């Protein structure tokens, strides 16, 4: 079976200048759970936006579920997007809507416009939404106004919205950076459990290294748009973490001409993988 995510020498350059990702190679098998960590500006969000097909690569290869995203027609790309569920940092819920309708929004990519509209007006509970809300433990909140829910329950609604489309790949970019530590722990373990039960590939970026190490069997460190390490948690040392997070302005936004090899960076990018 093809890997769930295959990235080879992936480069993403913004405005012909800022290299947010620089020759990144990474492979994630189906059902694997990966935590992505790294300093601000490392390229984590850019990687997520490539993985959910919002952005297209500047160079390199990105295959999702065996499909090369740069070679797909608009229609196939839409179908592929429907197989990828994303949970955002600011969970992007509409507070005025009922919980059911926020979750239903996750299904829209898979439905015709007429069917989608009908689902919004249909007073009967939608089976998929009930199932997703049950999975995240808030089935009783189906008809509640989303704004009336606690922060933690709203986070669960956001997870249910991603689950309702029954995705093969679940992506979450800093899903718990704006919640308290106890709730963060709860949501991260919920995501890990759901991915495990459903055999889904899960990639989560986390601000908290502690959470990443506690809940994920594979930790990917990203720095300056490059792979800094890719290791199980028990092999991650304090030195590696300090190297990953040490601030180095020269690594933020390496100019494109540097990437092409025309000019050497002033400070070498010190990823251990560069030396291999």
The binding site for ligand ADP (CB under 6 A) comprises 14-15, 18, 20, 38, 40-46, 252-253
**236-271 exposure pattern, b = at least 16 Cβ within 10 A, e = fewer:** beeebbebbbeeeeebebbebebbeeeeeeeeebeb
For Mg ion, the closer CB: 42 or 170:
42
User: For the packed helices 181-198 and 151-163, what is the interaxial angle rounded to 10 degrees?
Assistant: 20
For ligand ADP, the closer CB: 89 or 166:
89
Contact call for residue 45 and Mg ion (CB under 5 A) = yes
Q: Following DSSP, what letter does each residue of 62-108 receive, concatenated?
A: EEETTEEGGG--HHHHHHHHTTEEEE-SS----TTSBHHHHHHGGGG
Quick one: what does residue 40 bind among Mg ion, ligand ADP, none, with the CB cut-off 5 to 8 Å set by partner type? Answer: ligand ADP
Minimum Å gap between C-beta 39 and ligand ADP is: 7
For ligand ADP, the closer CB: 11 or 18:
18
Quick one: what does residue 15 bind among Mg ion, ligand ADP, none, with the CB cut-off 5 to 8 Å set by partner type? Answer: ligand ADP
Contact call for residue 52 and Mg ion (CB under 5 A) = no
Minimum Å gap between C-beta 45 and Mg ion is: 3
Quick one: what does residue 221 bind among Mg ion, ligand ADP, none, with the CB cut-off 5 to 8 Å set by partner type? Answer: none
Collapsing DSSP states into helix, strand and coil, what is residue 22?
Answer: strand
Binding residues among 212-271 for Mg ion as defined by CB under 5 A: none
Strand intervals (E) in the chain: 5-14, 18-28, 33-37, 59-64, 67-68, 84-87, 169-173, 201-205, 218-223, 226-231
Residue position matching structure tokens 């898979």: 110
For ligand ADP, the closer CB: 82 or 254:
254
Q: What does the binding site for Mg ion look like in residue numbers (CB under 5 A)? A: 44-45
């Amino acid at each position: 079976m093809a890997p769930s995510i295959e990235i080879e020498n992936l480069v993403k350059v913004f405005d012909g200048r800022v290299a947010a990702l620089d020759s990144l190679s990474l492979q994630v098998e189906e059902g694997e759970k990966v935590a992505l960590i790294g300093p601000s500006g490392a390229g984590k969000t850019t990687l997520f936006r490539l993985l959910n097909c919002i952005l297209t690569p500047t160079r390199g290869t990105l295959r999702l579920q065996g499909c090369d995203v740069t070679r797909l027609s608009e229609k196939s790309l839409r179908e592929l997007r429907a197989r990828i569920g994303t949970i955002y940092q600011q969970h992007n819920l509409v507070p005025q809507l009922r919980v059911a309708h926020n979750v239903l929004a996750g299904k829209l990519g898979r439905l015709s416009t007429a069917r989608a509209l009908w689902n919004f007006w249909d007073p009967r509970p939608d089976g998929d939404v009930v199932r997703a809300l049950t999975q995240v433990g808030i089935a009783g909140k189906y008809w509640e106004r989303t704004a009336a829910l606690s922060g933690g329950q709203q986070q669960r609604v956001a997870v249910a919205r991603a689950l309702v489309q029954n995705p093969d790949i679940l992506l979450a970019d800093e899903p718990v950076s704006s919640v308290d530590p106890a709730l963060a722990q709860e949501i991260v373990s919920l995501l890990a459990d759901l991915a495990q039960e459903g055999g889904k590939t899960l990639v989560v970026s986390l601000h908290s290294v502690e959470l990443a190490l506690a809940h994920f069997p594979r930790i990917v460190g990203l720095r300056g748009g490059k792979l800094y390490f890719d290791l199980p948690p028990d092999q991650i040392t304090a030195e590696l973490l300090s190297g990953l997070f040490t601030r180095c302005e020269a690594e933020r936004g390496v100019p494109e001409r540097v990437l092409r090899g025309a000019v050497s960076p002033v400070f070498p990018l010190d990823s251990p993988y560069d030396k291999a």
